[in-house]
Amino acid sequence: MRRFNCDYSEGAHPRVLSKLIETNLEQTEGYGTDPYCAEAAGLIRGICAAPEADVHFLVGGTQTNLTVISACLRPHQGALSADTGHINIHESGAIEATGHKVLALSSSDGKITAAQVQAAYDEHYNDDAREHAVQPKLVYISNPTEMGTIYSKAELTKLSETCRRNSLILYMDGARLGYALCARGNDLDLPAIAGLCDVFYIGGTKIGALFGEALVITNDSLKPDFRYFIKQKGGMLAKGRLLGLQFIALFDDDLYFEMARHANAMADIIKDACIKKGYPFLTESVTNQQFPILPDRVLSNLGEKYEYSFWQKAGQARSAVRFCTSWATDITDVQALAADILDS
């Protein structure tokens, strides 16, 4: 049985693990104040071309999202998000538990548009009794989205302009950011994202680290006291250097992007097989998550050899599922899966 149900089935890329092994007995300060975290932060500022950015390392995505969003908002403010957004449906109400409403915007492909944001903003401020509603203040996007789609530079630029014109904070959840940046058709890069967003994170957990997310804050007003929020929300790792070390391994050469390219290429093999076979897709994903719609009979057969994620029913005897690849995906396994799809 091979797992294609998610991109965190294995441990870490061996070079990440090596970094932990070789430094294991060194003594450093705790809580992320060690030299390795400083070095990793410097590397990330460098590749983001954001020399003034604050970089913090957290353990996981939900933790990062709830820490960032609660730090950015005052009590009466909420976060605009696609209704498919991770914070809206897959974090057990983590944002609400910090006191803030997620203001869901309808989305079929996981993305939201500048026009939707502007409309939500206008609807709020055009209401004379607006203090009876939650004030939109932060825009949450994920790139790639939970549906595998990506934002173009033009789309992100429009979102950014809309946010800045209206004093909204633009936050990008980059749990799988590498896959987006290495996707076919992508025209964004880290410096562009650092320039257009107020705060974003570069995900490690789902791209080759044991765990860890690198949070980049470029908006000066969001920087003060951020370490308090990390501590309060339970995200400050005692042996914080474990995070710094992993991000050094990911970014001191091209490893992070190398892994992402591999995963995307593996996903393309699955995608191509589905296309050849004439199976439709739930969304036009260009990243390592593919959402084909397959007959339940076919799924049942595939399920004997491969793990995938059920996504949703899609008509009579058909279902949308997710196939997911990673740095660790073996081409032989993918080719076997593709062949079985074609034979289905």
CA angle (50 as vertex; 46, 55 as ends), nearest 5: 80
DSSP H or E run through 260? helix 255-277
Among positions 235-254, residues that touch a copy of itself (CB under 8 A) are 235-239, 242
CB of 171 to a copy of itself, least distance (A): 16
Among positions 84-123, residues that touch a copy of itself (CB under 8 A) are 89-94, 96-102, 104
> Between 157 and 219, whose beta carbon lies closer to a copy of itself?
219
Phi and psi torsions of 322, nearest 5° = -115, 130
Pair 71, 222: CB distance under 8 Å: yes
> Between 179 and 211, whose beta carbon lies closer to a copy of itself?
211
Among positions 60-89, residues that touch a copy of itself (CB under 8 A) are 60-64, 66-67, 70-71, 74-76, 78, 89
Contacts of 188 (CB under 8 A, 6+ apart): 143, 150, 151, 152, 153, 156, 180, 181
CB of 95 to a copy of itself, least distance (A): 8
Among positions 21-60, residues that touch a copy of itself (CB under 8 A) are 21, 23-31, 59-60
> Between 37 and 59, whose beta carbon lies closer to a copy of itself?
59
Pairing of strands 169-173, 135-142: parallel
DSSP H or E run through 173? strand 169-173
> Between 59 and 298, whose beta carbon lies closer to a copy of itself?
59
- Looking at 181-189, 224-232, 273-281, 298-306, which segment touches a copy of itself (CB under 8 A)? 224-232
CA angle (276 as vertex; 271, 279 as ends), nearest 5: 70
How many other C-beta atoms can be found within 10 angstroms of the C-beta atom of residue 286? 22
For the window 304-343, what string marks contact with a copy of itself as x by the rule CB under 8 A? ------------------------x---------------
Please select the residue that binds a copy of itself; options are 45, 111, 206, 322, rule is CB under 8 A.
Answer: 206
> Between 70 and 186, whose beta carbon lies closer to a copy of itself?
70
Report d(CA 171, CA 187) in Å as an integer: 19
Pair 41, 100: CB distance under 8 Å: no
CB of 155 to a copy of itself, least distance (A): 27
Please select the residue that binds a copy of itself; options are 42, 165, 220, 231, rule is CB under 8 A.
Answer: 231
How many residues sit close enough to a copy of itself to count as binding (CB under 8 A)?
Answer: 75
> Between 21 and 49, whose beta carbon lies closer to a copy of itself?
21
* SS3 of residue 241 by DSSP: helix
330-334 long-range Cβ contacts below 8 angstroms, 24+ apart = 331/266, 331/269, 333/2, 334/266, 334/269, 334/270
Pair 201, 195: CB distance under 8 Å: no
Among positions 116-175, residues that touch a copy of itself (CB under 8 A) are 129, 131-135
Contacts of 227 (CB under 8 A, 6+ apart): 32, 56, 236
Say which DSSP state 84 is in: T
> Between 158 and 262, whose beta carbon lies closer to a copy of itself?
262
CB of 236 to a copy of itself, least distance (A): 7
> Between 51 and 74, whose beta carbon lies closer to a copy of itself?
74
CB of 1 to a copy of itself, least distance (A): 8
Report d(CA 304, CA 124) in Å as an integer: 51
CB of 29 to a copy of itself, least distance (A): 8
Amino acid at the residue 68: V
Please select the residue that binds a copy of itself; options are 6, 38, 265, 314, rule is CB under 8 A.
Answer: 6
Burial class (CB in 10 A: 0-12, 13-18, 19+), 277: middle
